[in-house]
Amino acid sequence: MPILAAFMVPHPPMIVPAVGRGGEKKIQATTDAYCRVADEIAELSPDVIIISSPHSVMYYDYFHISPGYEAYGSFADFRAPEVSFRERYDAELVSLIEQYSREEGLPAGTMGEKDARLDHGTMVPLYFIRQKYSGGKIIRIGLSGLPLEEHFRLGRIVSRAVKSLGRRAVFVASGDLSHKLQDYGPYGFAPEGPEYDERIMDVCSRAAFDELFDFSEDFCRRAAECGHRSFTIMAGALDGMSIRAEQLSHEDVTGVGYGICTFYPDDARDPYVRLAADTVTEYITSGRVISAPNGLPREMLESRAGAFVSIHKNGALRGCIGTIMPTRDTLAEEIISNAISASTRDPRFPPITADELDELEINVDVLTEPEQISSPDELDVKRYGVIVSCGFRRGLLLPDLEGVDSVEQQIGIAMMKGGISRDDKVTLHRFEVIRHK
């Protein structure tokens, strides 16, 4: 299961009323946008909230991921000790991220923790999230002095680990924008400040994450930005997905830029393929049989049909199981059942394992009702599949398969699959398929 959603958020302590003591009203648009983010996270109900923070432990040549099973933090350093958090860490996911980083030669892990307390870059997002959603563990990831490309690579590793464990995860990229937007701001003004804010909000509002690498280190330093590396880790976690981005707010009234954007994977996969793929992922990672989700096309929930689920890995068949006639109450249930069988019960192959999931290509073929024919002349290998029957023996071959170029070849393969000899008297049926790739 990929990252459910990601959020780019700032972390001004003053936005917490107990800290701001009225000053938070200056950035009301940011507060309103933050509340919407919290509502959306609560609706997603994630198992884990992954937070990248510029104020967690940071090393020049190493990414620190907070270790252990829980952590505590409060706004005591900002005169509000009553606002506190005790959060549980997803230690299993942290361990897998550490393992994958080690395997890929990326310097990241749980060594070198200087201060176990939660930092304000983590607590400000949690302040809003925990008002709406109390579930889910967290992961806290620090930044480093390594190149942006390595931050992006860490994000990809995080996403890989999330998929491997089947976690329902959201990514929260905590980071302010430029600190040099106004003369009266805490760091004064630099012309690069407003330019950075304009550029980064444009890039993120379009989810044009490749453009994050167009910001030079010198330009970012002059703009006194805070969250660029955090946003780049998030971009890596979303790599390979089509993303719907929305800018919720951008303010610079304090001399520091605060921007909030949301990012949702735009799953453009065919709904038949998506259902089969989600079924395989969930069953392989957790052993759970999913239910038909909301939003499926009506015909998947109201019609019945036979269906085949075929799975390929690196172009080679890895599993294929199907039903000629419907055996379940709905087509969606037929696909779910056959996806599980194709991934774990095809006698030609061992069951698929979790580390193969990223390498699979899954197709779904929905069959029309077979019709009996009297002659092979009524077949067309591109249009029709064939069922060859002899008594209780039966062999089936789908249409339009690579390497099957003649009706004679098609019938011969189907006979071989059914254990039918050339001398047997056979009955032929043809059918059509609607192929979903």
CATH of the domain at 50: 3.40.830.10
Q: Give the percent of the chain with pLDDT over 70.
A: 99
Q: Is a pLDDT exceeding 70 seen at residue 161?
A: yes
- Mean of the pLDDT values across residues 309-324? 93
Same domain (yes/no): 187, 203: yes
Same domain (yes/no): 206, 222: yes
Q: Report pLDDT digits (tens) over 23-60.
A: 999 999 999 999 999 999 998 889 999 999 999 999 99
Q: Report pLDDT digits (tens) over 372-387.
A: 999 999 999 999 999 9
DSSP label of 59: B
Boundary of a domain, candidates 203, 231, 265: 265
pLDDT (0 to 100) of residue 82: 97
pLDDT (0 to 100) of residue 308: 95
Q: Are 343 and 350 in contact (CB under 8 A)?
A: no
Same domain (yes/no): 398, 308: no
Same domain (yes/no): 355, 412: no
CATH of the domain at 387: 3.30.1490.150
CA-wise closest residue to 154 among 109, 217, 216:
109
pTM of the model as a whole: 0.67
Same domain (yes/no): 200, 276: no
How many structural domains is the chain composed of? 3
pLDDT (0 to 100) of residue 151: 98
CA-wise closest residue to 48 among 101, 98, 88:
88
pLDDT (0 to 100) of residue 88: 98
Same domain (yes/no): 201, 221: yes
Least confident of 147-156, 190-199, 426-435: 426-435
Same domain (yes/no): 220, 119: yes
Q: Are 374 and 356 in contact (CB under 8 A)?
A: no
Same domain (yes/no): 346, 300: yes
Domain range for 197: 5-265
Q: How far apart (Å, rounded) are the C-alpha atoms in residues 280 and 291? A: 12
Same domain (yes/no): 345, 401: no
CATH of the domain at 333: 3.30.700.20
Q: Is a pLDDT exceeding 70 seen at residue 268?
A: no
Kindly give, in sequence order, each residue whose CB lies less than 8 Å from that of residue 267, ignoring residues fewer than 6 positions away.
242, 274
Same domain (yes/no): 138, 285: no
Same domain (yes/no): 199, 248: yes
When pLDDT is cut at 50, 70 and 90, the band that residue 257 belongs to is very high
Same domain (yes/no): 258, 322: no
Q: Report pLDDT digits (tens) over 80-97.
A: 999 999 999 999 999 999
pLDDT (0 to 100) of residue 106: 97
Least confident of 115-129, 331-345, 355-369: 355-369
